[in-house]
Structure 1
Amino acid sequence: MSTATNEVSNEEPATLSSMAGHEEDINHQTVEEAALKSTAVSTQRISSSLRRRACDTCRARKVRCDRQDPPCNRCVKMGVACHYSGRTKPTNSRMGMSRFLETLNNRLKQAEAQLASTHLMQQNQPQFSVAWRDVDRTGLPTKPSPPHKTPSQEEAQSHWSSVPAPTYPTYDLQESDDLFNQMSVTTSATSAKEASAFLPLDTFIASNSETIMMAQTMLDNQPLEFEPTIFDIPTPTTEPMPTVLATILQKLYERYFEIFHPIIPIINRTRFEHELSQPCPTVELQALSYAMGALAAFSVPELQDYASFYHEQARNLIDLCERQESGDSLENINILQAYVILTLYELKQPNFARAYLTLGRAIKLVQILGLDNAKSDSRMYARWGLSKQSSHSISPAEQEEKRRVFWSLFIFDSFASLRSNICPTFTGVINVPLPSSSEYPDFLDETMPRLDEVFGLTETISLSSFAADTLMISLYQRYFRHIESSYDETSQGFWETHYAIDKAVEHCRKTLLAPHMNGNCGNDPLAIGLRMNLNTLKINLHETALFRVEKDQLPENLAVEANSKCAFAVIDIVKAVQVGMQLTGSRAVTFRQLDRFFVWPITTAIQVCFRMIYNGADDFASYISFLRILSHAMKEIIDPEQISPGLLENAEARIADAARSVRKK
């Protein structure tokens, strides 16, 4: 033992000199000297050594350690310092470390996505009348603003610290792209303080740099307490809307009204722009604005990241309004319209379950507010614990907006039932007038009939393509109920219902909806979609009749009649598809944005062509030609994820077989 002590003593000066300045090593050296002074090892220390981990030196060299009280025998032989590190207990800072790193990683991903989208937008500009390059992801202009309009640096920095952020000034939407090309020259002449005011990306990266420095501090000083970053959502009365007045959202509003308003004409643009011009727009209007921005940005391939960003902001603000204690926000028309737009946005995504849940929330809110019944009274509000309706009178234009919101959800509800095979919510007699045929801002307070009254009218009534869609949907609901009851219905009851629905469809085609059918729709994309879906309803109705004929072994002439009507409907669908594919400009974009509602018609028409070819129809070549047109249109306008697996492959195989048979002849 004395020999070991002398060896360690000889090595002690060199060891201390190599560890000078390191407080931790000095402490370990002190422990070592104290240990060497004791010549006897107690039984308690021996038993504790059995529970001790190997010393740091042995663990580093990955060799066996006898775990004796410092020094262990191996360290004595090697002539190196020996010390043990205790087992560290998890501290609060380490427990929060994973959450912190997750937050940091999310921020870095946001920065990377912003940089990537900015680089992509600079190289590939969409060919639209608006210039998308003039703005960044948050909607803030990337051009220097005039000196008297330049936001302060604190405002720019606070944009990323909370949602929403301070209001930014408006900019002229018609500025030339030449200004963007001169930005590098202008920016170099601008002071650093001014530059940081209109370049939020720099501010965002700077805030991330501070976060990284904090991470390094935490790693160096473990006892530092850490609290995860919490982003506060302001209450509706405390914060103005941040980016509604920004350039990119202004341009997205224009695109929304140009492309999507013909599909769902639910927003009075005059009212919307008036509320938008107020100094502090409400949170309900912010939610609507973000929803409009998400849907409009989704139609531009280069702005997909923007669409996701605005969609998330709209959902967050709607959730905020739903959590409001008073419930006043739920009565705001902007919230209902935001729900409708988000439903359409999500219906265009692969995740149908999310869209169905959003649609369900919107439908329940409409039922709570009594918009599905024109005779709802104020007692309805007390039933749901809501405040009384405002005392100011509701204008006819406001009433029309609410009606159009309801009818939009009526259409989406029936469309979702087609996909989910769940009965629609709005069935039976609906005590709500149809949408007016006039358009904002030239809205006329015209008296419109209810849906159940239209089919009994003797005179012709003017219906918009949007109102015409509600008639087509009501016919689909009748067909849906007919299918459900056909399994238990007698043969006589089945055919009575069948002919009643067929008569109503023909009445719509030839009288009620004649301006929108058979080539009279012109360049209206919504009317083209109406024509395709009404023909699809006719096909399904008569295919059900074919099934009943085969099941009950009825006369063959019933099957011949049903097949001829299916063939006529397929021809009309093909003609409508050709008209839609020939559209140009904004109408062509609107037509393609209806792609989700073309899956059912085109798929049904292709399947009828398969059946006709299989049964050896006389006009075999015509159905091969129809397959070419329909499969080409499906490839062009419908997302591949929405197409039934193997459908296009089968169509191409039939076309190839037909081509080979022609060559053999």
Structure 2
Amino acid sequence: MTTQAPSLSITSPSPHSGPSPSADVEKQRADSGAGSIMAECNAAWFAGTTFDDSLCSIPTTIDWDMELMSMRPDAAHVTEDWLASTASGQPLLSTPPAIIATKDMNELHEIFFARVHPVMPIINEDQFRKDLQDSPHAMAVQSVSYTAALLATTMPEAKASLKQSCYVLARYYVDQCEAEEGFHPTWCMHFLRALLILTRFEINNRSCARAWLTLGRAIRLAKIMRLDQIDCVNEPPFPNVSLPEIVFPAAQTAVELEERRRCLWALYILEGLASIYTGTPGLLDESRLQVSLPSPGRLDKDFQPSSLPHLSEAHTIAKSETLSPFCGLVLVVSVLRKAIHHIAQPSLPSSASGFGYSWNAPGFWDRHFSLLRTLKVFEALVEPLTLSRSLRSCAVAFNLYVVFHAVKVNTYEAAIDESERQELPFTEVDTNMDQLTSNALKIATAIRSNWCQQRLMCDNLSLSGAFVGWPLYTAIKALSRGASPDQSRSRASAIRMLYDSLDDVEPPDGAWHKLLLQSCPSPRPWKWDD
């Protein structure tokens, strides 16, 4: 039995395999009218377009085969050409294709739990080591072991020479696990963890198509496991009798239950951040998630769970409640999904006859002010996580801060566009412009104050590290909107600093740079000689 990739997934087109993607999109646009938005959103994954740009025409100058989730690696861990030669389409082997010394594996596991696990806290380290000792030959155990070691190889202190062998072995054991043990109740959680860690590695190593397909496998597996219903008190409100099901043993301890919750939320985060590229909210429907938010604390014998609600009831969380940065990122991704859904909705034409529109559906401004209320509630919850000290020391806190304000920038930008479309008074436009500029400057201030400290962690550690280019792009575009060369030096300096940071994130011909060339009439217009 094999998992299926999500219906929205696409693979990188071959330049010799038929019509170009742009031609297909143009045909869909002509054939489907309002439905063309979804086709453009899906194409945005490879076109390099963020969700707000996907409502416009697809850029024609973007290289369709480019690796979009690019992070410029340091010289110590440059991505080698071997990745292109280790495609997952190879037939399964009967024996492992490589061997890594036990000493090296132990060192990589130490690096993983010291450096990576605080950012992606989905594994009980004590149980992980016990499984290695008790079931060293189980495919599921080996799949987690090698994917964890693989992600550890992205750390500067790891031996770069081990990355190729780790990648080959990680993919070998993941594929073998799916073929033999991945759907067994005893091992399915191991298989899911391995898929999550492998997805994170593929994102960090700019393998866009593989990350998307691996993420699809993880989503389908989680749904088969009913992991999105693990805290459902009564019968699931949305039963799906046609979906296969793995009935795995009930959690025996609070740590085991929390581990399952965090795996689901890690999947939710990864898919939500991928939505920046796809322009769609994702397959994990928030309204159907019956899972408590993740509790703070390390997954060990001293773990004490908090009584946190489901995501749909996050507004009931008391301000005095202590949230982890991981939980804060869940909240930020939730509001990101809401913003994507809001902005992607077609505006109601002023002269609409009603055809193709639901008059009972909330209009733009109803959705806009509802989203602003949610942003206000969530901002109060994540504010304690984003104090200056946290932004300097915690990669997740830094990323949730800049992503959160990028969501606000896009929300106000959509309001400005709608105000201009409806020819509302200039005061309405100016109010939203002030908010847009204010939030863009907050991103710039956070980058200016913390970039030197955070850059290495963004490259290597943060779950949203590969997506930090989006807040940079958003802030540059917002500060450039309606600006002129005679703007104040402080604003010009902020734009130049953001451009410099974007240069650190990706090469000059990267996706975000190309989009800025299209969205900003005069790229870097405020350059001057110091």
- The answer to whether the 8 Å contact 2:230/2:290 transfers is yes
Task: Find out whether 1:250 has 2:106 as its counterpart.
Answer: yes
Given the superposition, is the C-alpha separation of residues 584 and 521 from structure 1 closer, same or farther in structure 2, using an over 3 Å criterion?
A: closer
> Deviation digits for residues 364-399 of structure 1, max 9, x if unmatched?
000000101125799999977777534x75211111
What's the CA shift for 1:658?
Answer: 4.5
Given the superposition, is the C-alpha separation of residues 548 and 592 from structure 1 closer, same or farther in structure 2, using an over 3 Å criterion?
A: same
Identity of aligned residues (%): 24
What's the CA shift for 1:635?
Answer: 2.1
> Deviation digits for residues 489-535 of structure 1, max 9, x if unmatched?
789831122112112212222x2111123536342111010000000
Q: Which amino acid aligns with 1:415?
A: L
> Deviation digits for residues 337-390 of structure 1, max 9, x if unmatched?
111011111112333121111100000000000101125799999977777534
- The answer to whether the 8 Å contact 2:111/2:158 transfers is no
Task: Find out whether 1:462 has 2:322 as its counterpart.
Answer: yes
Alignment partner, residue 407 of structure 2: 537
What's the CA shift for 1:461?
Answer: 2.0
Give SS of 1:356's match.
Answer: helix
Given the superposition, is the C-alpha separation of residues 416 and 330 from structure 1 closer, same or farther in structure 2, using an over 3 Å criterion?
A: farther
- The answer to whether the 8 Å contact 2:140/2:174 transfers is yes
Counterparts of 1:529 and 1:549, CA distance in 2: 30
- The answer to whether the 8 Å contact 2:265/2:330 transfers is yes
1:67-146 aligned within 5 A: none
Match of 2:258 among 368, 390, 400: 400
Counterparts of 1:349 and 1:326, CA distance in 2: 25
What's the CA shift for 1:467?
Answer: 0.5
1:51-66 aligned within 5 A: none
Counterparts of 2:167 and 2:460, CA distance in 1: 20
1:178-577 aligned within 5 A: 231-233=93-95, 246-278=102-134, 280-300=136-156, 303-304=159-160, 306-324=162-180, 327-328=183-184, 331-375=187-231, 389-390=248-249, 394-429=252-287, 430-441=289-300, 442-457=302-317, 459-488=319-348, 493-509=363-379, 511-517=380-386, 519=388, 521-522=390-391, 523-577=393-447
Q: Which amino acid aligns with 1:421?
A: G
Unaligned runs of 5+ in 2: 1-73, 78-90, 349-356
Task: Report the more deviating stretch, 251-260 or 550-559.
Answer: 251-260
What's the CA shift for 1:601?
Answer: 0.3
Q: Which amino acid aligns with 1:328?
A: H
Specify the structure having the higher radius of gyration (Cα).
Answer: 1
What's the CA shift for 1:653?
Answer: 7.0
What's the CA shift for 1:321?
Answer: 1.8
Match of 1:628 among 454, 473, 496: 496
- The answer to whether the 8 Å contact 2:296/2:305 transfers is no
What's the CA shift for 1:242?
Answer: 9.2
Alignment partner, residue 11 of structure 2: none
Q: Which amino acid aligns with 2:170?
A: A
Q: Which amino acid aligns with 1:307?
A: K
Counterparts of 1:593 and 1:485, CA distance in 2: 28
Match of 1:601 among 471, 490, 500: 471
Q: Which structure has more helix as a fraction of its residues? A: 1
Counterparts of 1:387 and 1:408, CA distance in 2: 20
TM-score between the two structures when normalised by the length of structure 2: 0.71
Task: Report the more deviating stretch, 470-479 or 450-459.
Answer: 450-459
- The answer to whether the 8 Å contact 1:322/1:329 transfers is no
Counterparts of 1:636 and 1:605, CA distance in 2: 16
1:578-593 aligned within 5 A: 578-583=448-453, 590=460
> Deviation digits for residues 42-63 of structure 1, max 9, x if unmatched?
xxxxxxxxxxxxxxxxxxxxxx
- The answer to whether the 8 Å contact 2:224/2:244 transfers is no
| RMSD (Å) for aligned C-alpha atoms | 3.7
> Deviation digits for residues 193-233 of structure 1, max 9, x if unmatched?
xxxxxxxxxxxxxxxxxxxxxxxxxxxxxxxxxxxx99523
What's the CA shift for 1:278?
Answer: 3.3
Counterparts of 1:541 and 1:247, CA distance in 2: 51
Unaligned runs of 5+ in 1: 1-123, 128-228, 235-240
Alignment partner, residue 116 of structure 1: none
Counterparts of 1:657 and 1:326, CA distance in 2: 55
Given the superposition, is the C-alpha separation of residues 293 and 558 from structure 1 closer, same or farther in structure 2, using an over 3 Å criterion?
A: same
> Deviation digits for residues 545-574 of structure 1, max 9, x if unmatched?
011011000011111111111111111111
What's the CA shift for 1:316?
Answer: 1.6
Counterparts of 2:271 and 2:223, CA distance in 1: 13
> Deviation digits for residues 582-612 of structure 1, max 9, x if unmatched?
4289857656785312011001111112214
Given the superposition, is the C-alpha separation of residues 302 and 470 from structure 1 closer, same or farther in structure 2, using an over 3 Å criterion?
A: closer
Task: Report the more deviating stretch, 318-327 or 584-593.
Answer: 584-593
> Deviation digits for residues 143-167 of structure 1, max 9, x if unmatched?
xxxxxxxxxxxxxxxxxxxxxxxxx
Task: Report the more deviating stretch, 352-361 or 452-461.
Answer: 452-461
Match of 2:481 among 599, 604, 611: 611
